[in-house]
Amino acid sequence: MSKQEARDQIDTERTQLNLDLETAKIDLERNKLEAKSIAKKERNLDVASDINGTVLEVDKEAVNNTSDVQKPLIHIGNTDEYLATGVLSEYDALKIKTGQPVKITSDVLPDKEWAGSVKQIDYLPQQQASAEARNDGANQYPIEVKVDDQDITMIKPGFKLLLEIETSSKKASSLPIKAVVNEDGEKYVYVVKDKKAVRKEVKIGETTNKFIEIKSGVSSKDKVITNLTKNLTDGAEVTVQ
């Protein structure tokens, strides 16, 4: 091989090596971009909880869920702070404010009572289940109540609670709910007169979970029987204790 032929062959090989080097550089940059893309996807797989708490439940079967309704994989709860949720009517949503005190009770523990406060009232109404409900039913607004008493830790997540929030106040004559009989649309009570039970019809007003407003029918001077029995009738003899 002549010197010129050798030079030409070396130049050809050098050119090919330079092309291979540039191709390798391009492949390297592409691999770097792919590595960044994969790292970003991995970071997106990390789901951060909005609260500090404890993992209460892990549903491994939810990973294999193929339905349109997605189930939670993990339930995280903050056992240091309890929230009660409910809904308000359109009327009550205008009267109740954030920070307002709330009395909390439960049918499971009827002797217990806890204090709370309104944390949040949603600006938008709760989504209705159907178009018919939207057209015919009144809107309801979700509300969150913060439980201030630490003693409520005996209540488990998911328990139903009764939230009593004062929307207005007034002085009124009232009786325990169990003292008023509702029969065929008529409301009446029994009062004691001459040691006999006398039936008196009454007109009622607003009610709470314990008391009912009496607008007319009896006065403060009447002795109303609050401990009614099934066999109590008009004119029956009674003993006042």
Chain mean position to CA 164 = 15
Enter the pTM of the model.
Answer: 0.48
186 lies in the same domain as 159: no
Asked whether 125 and 141 are in contact (CB, 8 A), the reply is yes
Last residue of a domain, one of 113, 134, 164: 164
DSSP 53: -
Task: Give residue 119's pLDDT.
Answer: 94
Indicate the residue among 124, 141, 164 that finishes a domain.
164
Q: pLDDT per position in the chain (241 positions), as tens?
A: 688 888 888 888 999 999 999 999 999 999 999 999 999 888 888 877 777 888 888 888 877 777 777 778 888 877 778 889 999 998 888 999 999 999 999 888 888 899 999 999 999 998 754 445 555 567 899 999 999 887 787 777 788 999 999 887 778 888 998 899 988 888 999 999 988 999 999 999 888 778 899 999 988 888 998 888 888 888 888 877 7
Domain that holds residue 98: 81-164
Tokens in use for 163? 């939230």
What pLDDT shows up at residue 24?
95
CB 120 within 8 A of CB 98: yes
The pLDDT value recorded for residue 33 is 94
pLDDT at 130: 47
Is there a single domain that holds both residue 159 and residue 89?
A: yes
CATH number of the domain within which 228 lies: 2.40.420.20
Q: Give pLDDT, residue 47.
A: 74
Q: Are 160 and 107 in contact (CB under 8 A)?
A: yes
**For the CA atoms of 19, 25, 27, 29, what is the dihedral angle to 10 degrees?**
-150
Nearest-5° angle of CA 115, CA 120, CA 87?
A: 85
3-state percent helix, strand, coil for the chain, nearest multiple of 5: 30, 30, 40
How many whole angstroms separate alpha carbon 82 and alpha carbon 80? 7
- Pair (133, 198) in one structural domain: no
As for how many domains the chain has, the answer is: 2
